[in-house]
Structure 1
Amino acid sequence: MSNHILVVDDEKEIADLIEVYLRNENYTIHKFYSAEDALACIENTEIDLAILDIMMPDTDGYTICKRIREKYNYPVIMLTAKDKESDKITGLTLGADDYITKPFRPLEVVARVKAQLRRYKKYNIPQSDAAAEAVLTNSGLSMNIQTHECFLNDAPLTLTPTEFSILRILLEQQGSVVSAEEMFHKMWEDEYYCKSNNTITVHIRHLREKMNDLAENPKYIKTVWGVGYKIEK
């Protein structure tokens, strides 16, 4: 079954270009040039992934991303004309999974979409592998792989797909250090992700905030400087 991709960009040429390349990969595209129309689509259509431009005249992509995260956990990729670290961090903090800076190569967008969908299906949909544990636990932290639910001291944690994936990897490898490069490879299996700068760092920071896990003295996610991250057994 074809995946449904939401594309939102007020620059018609860019939205049309993305549509052409993604349709060539047999995706079903829901394309909009305004945030208002996109928000209506989000409420009435089953979407598998969203590509959102940050700068739009009516409502920015941050707002759309925030609205998506109020109800849905599918991957969100932000498009930004600004090559500023603060813009990228803002998007990731609001729940985006990835960002692409304009100008971009259309094939890069296709690669990112495929990687996000592959990672989302791998780490957020029940696995057929009988060896996989349905529930992962650690000192008050509980993650149900099959229902995609996570609880901390019986209180629900609302996680984005990427946050869920990172926490799952750390729980599955309790007691071992996992590098950012290894996380990228496990989730996306694409070489260019290994070259990303601080995306994992931002997601880890946001995870800690949601878990009230202070970086200075963390109970769960610990930083092993120069190596990676770990959750002790």
Structure 2
Amino acid sequence: MDINAKVLVADDEERIRRLIRMYLEREDYIVEEADNGTDALQLALENDYDVILLDIMMPEMDGIEVCQALRKEKETPVIMLTAKGEEANRVQGFEVGTDDYIVKPFSPREVVLRVKALLRRVSASHFDENETAPKNLLVFPHLTIDYDAHRVTADGMEVSLTPKEYELLCFLAKSPDKVFNREHLLKEVWQYEFFGDLRTVDTHVKRLREKLNKISKDAAKMIVTVWGVGYKFEVDDA
């Protein structure tokens, strides 16, 4: 599934771009580069990338601004590259639609693993093609998930979600009324146990609720916080 995936690497440090490119090309990815935010945004809008690696500190436009502008047009998966002292910016990145982040200094192998994990999740979000047709459509009173079309509708209107928001919703909706703690969601949806920040989960739940709420308050209420534990997808039988 990953073979020939197209990746944009946007970072103003040539050494970092070259290193990431070398490791990704070993995995047969097609890699393109940008050394500033303006060029990165233009390339991202004009091309269909499978993943974008976006440095948070770049000239002309920073990574936050690029991601924010990109999300108005596309839901391309984005991994933000951040320095250790930029925790607030990482949270801000999630708020504008970043799917994952990697902290500098990083191992090139970690980058490859994160890209693979994100591609795997996006691909798996179509779910098992071997399942019977009825299972490819999950219907609730105010919410419908069409796995084949990779589409979510609330009260008949389409909801535009990032890949990670979509995956989080699908994971919760597949097990109605089951409570998942943040660690479990981080492991299952983000595919890693030891790198993640638990606030990643909270931020994505917040964004997911906000997007659903704009279309259907009833659909948004289905994402329930279980205080002190985690989150669940609650179906009102009434």
TM-score, normalised to structure 1, is 0.88
Alpha-carbon distance in structure 1 between the residues aligned to 2:228 and 2:106: 31
Residue of structure 1 equivalent to 2:217: none
Deviation, 1:6, is 0.4
2:10–2:53 CA contact under 8 A, matched in 1: yes
Measured in 1, the distance between the counterparts of 2:231 and 2:121 equals 20
Distance 1:220 1:58, change over 3 A: same
**1:8 matched to which residue of 2?**
10
Cα gap change, 1:126 to 1:146, in 2 (>3 Å): farther
Deviation, structure 1 residue 90: 0.9
Q: SS of the residue aligned with 1:133?
A: helix
The answer on 1:196 being equivalent to 2:197 is yes
Q: Distance in 2 between matches of 1:67 and 1:160?
A: 14
Equivalent pair of 2:52/2:79 in contact (CA under 8 Å): yes
- 1:33 aligns with 35
Provide the aligned C-alpha RMSD in A: 2.0
Secondary structure of the equivalent of 1:192? coil
* Cα displacement (A) at 1:17: 1.4
Distance change in 2, residues 1:71/1:133 (3 Å): farther
Matched, 1:92 2:82: no
Secondary structure in structure 1 of the residue aligned to 2:194: helix
In structure 2, the residue matched to 1:166 is: 168
Asked whether the 8 Å contact 2:183–2:193 carries over to 1, the reply is no
Q: Which moved more, 1:73-82 or 1:158-167?
A: 73-82
Structure 1 residues 208 and 188, CA gap change in structure 2 (3 angstroms)? closer
Deviation string for 1:193-229 (max 9, x for gaps)? 5x5332111101111122229xxxx721111223221
Distance 1:122 1:13, change over 3 A: same
1:128 and 2:133 correspond: no
Q: 1:189 to 1:57 in 2, by over 3 A?
A: closer
Amino acid at match of 1:137: V
For the residues of structure 2 that align with 1:10 and 1:137, how far apart are their CA atoms? Answer: 46
Specify the SS of the correspondent of 1:36: helix
Partner secondary structure for residue 71 of structure 1: coil
CA contact under 8 A between 2:38 and 2:66: conserved in structure 1?
A: no
CA separation of 1:181/1:82 partners in 2, compared to 1, >3 Å: closer, same or farther? Answer: closer
Alpha-carbon distance in 2 for matches of 1:76, 1:230: 26
Aligned counterpart in structure 2 of residue 147 of structure 1, from 143, 146, 149: 149
Overall identity of the aligned pairs, in %? 38
* Matched residues, number: 227
Unpaired runs of at least 5, structure 2: 215-219
TM-score (normalizing by structure 2): 0.87
CA distance in 2, matches of 1:126, 1:112: 20
The corresponding residue for 1:18 is: 20
Partner residue, 1:212: 213
